Amino acid sequence: MEKLASLWIFVALTTPLLGQTLSMAPPGIEGRYVLSAVTKYCRALETLSRLNQPRLFAQVDWPLGGSSHWVEFSGELEWKSAGKPRPLALVWYRDNHVARVLIASKDGENPQRFAEYCYRADGTIARIRSIPEVWKDCDKSYLRCHVTFAEEGLYLPTGRAIKGPSAAIQSSFLGGLAHSDMTGRNSGDSDWRPLKSEETSVSFAEFPIEYLSVRDLPFANQLLSPSAK
């Protein structure tokens, strides 16, 4: 299976235009500790996913105009042979339970955008976010740009959600438009042109569908099948 490199490439951009806040009231000290643990747990799963091949699912149409359904592909080559059907989902396991899921819903986007789901061992959601966290669309001269920010949702074990711009954006918003490499680490490069353009607009992306449990995923029945993990 090819590396599916584009599925992990995301550009973490930051900007001082984050005057708008979308976060709910912050949790107490204990809640903040739990949310910090959630972030560390999900970051560990990101590392795990770079070291292991995922299961690959996609939604295909039944012949003769029938309703669509999700099927599993053995790898990228088989998926391509089927015409690259979408939505596409990548699923990683940890200790025999679904741990991380990436779902790409549209084709032809640049950059390719994904909804990421980080699940606990009991199958409940720990984090939902969009990848990339920020993306920009500029003309060739960089005189007109549109910057889109994604939201992140962290979920306490009680199910309570704390939503807002991702911590990566908030913690470095004074750094300009800082580019990250494939691992998400800041590469040290920055590009201020979008902020100095004649016209720069900003918006927030639609929050991904909340699949709060592994069993809520649209291909959950296939996940429970006895396939190699």
DSSP string covering the chain: ----GGGT-------TTTT-----PPP-HHHHHHHHHHHHHHHHHHHHHHHSPPEEEEEEEPGGGPPEEEEEESSHHHHHHTT--SSEEEEEEETTEEEEEEEE--SS-SS--EEEEEE-TTSBEEEEEEESSEEEEE-TTSSEEEEEE-EEEEE-TTS-EEEEE-HHHHHTGGG-SEEE-TTS-EEEEE--GGGGSSEEEEEEPPPPP---BGGGSTTHHHHTS----
Instruction: Using a pLDDT cut of 90, give the percent of the chain over it.
Output: 32
Domain membership of residue 228 (yes or no) is: no
Residue 184 has pLDDT above 50, yes or no: no
pLDDT of residue 194: 52
When pLDDT is averaged across residues 150-164 and rounded to a whole number, the result is: 85
Residue 30 has pLDDT above 70, yes or no: no
Domain membership of residue 26 (yes or no) is: yes
Q: 138 or 155: which carries more pLDDT confidence?
A: 155
pLDDT of residue 29: 57
Domain membership of residue 108 (yes or no) is: yes
Q: Which pLDDT band, with edges at 50, 70 and 90, does 14 fall under?
A: very low
pLDDT of residue 57: 95
Q: 59 or 172: which carries more pLDDT confidence?
A: 59
Q: According to the per-residue pLDDT averaged within each range, which of 103-112, 148-157, 178-187 is highest?
A: 148-157
Q: Which tens digits make up the pLDDT trace of 34-44?
A: 778 898 999 99
Q: 165 or 212: which carries more pLDDT confidence?
A: 212
Domain membership of residue 174 (yes or no) is: yes
The reported pTM is 0.74
When pLDDT is averaged across residues 48-70 and rounded to a whole number, the result is: 84
pLDDT of residue 27: 56
Residue 220 has pLDDT above 80, yes or no: yes
pLDDT of residue 206: 84
pLDDT of residue 125: 96
Domain membership of residue 71 (yes or no) is: yes
Domain membership of residue 34 (yes or no) is: yes
Residue 133 has pLDDT above 60, yes or no: yes
Count of domains forming the chain: 1
Domain membership of residue 229 (yes or no) is: no
Q: Which tens digits make up the pLDDT trace of 92-102?
A: 999 989 999 99
Domain membership of residue 104 (yes or no) is: yes
**Owning domain of residue 146:** 5-223
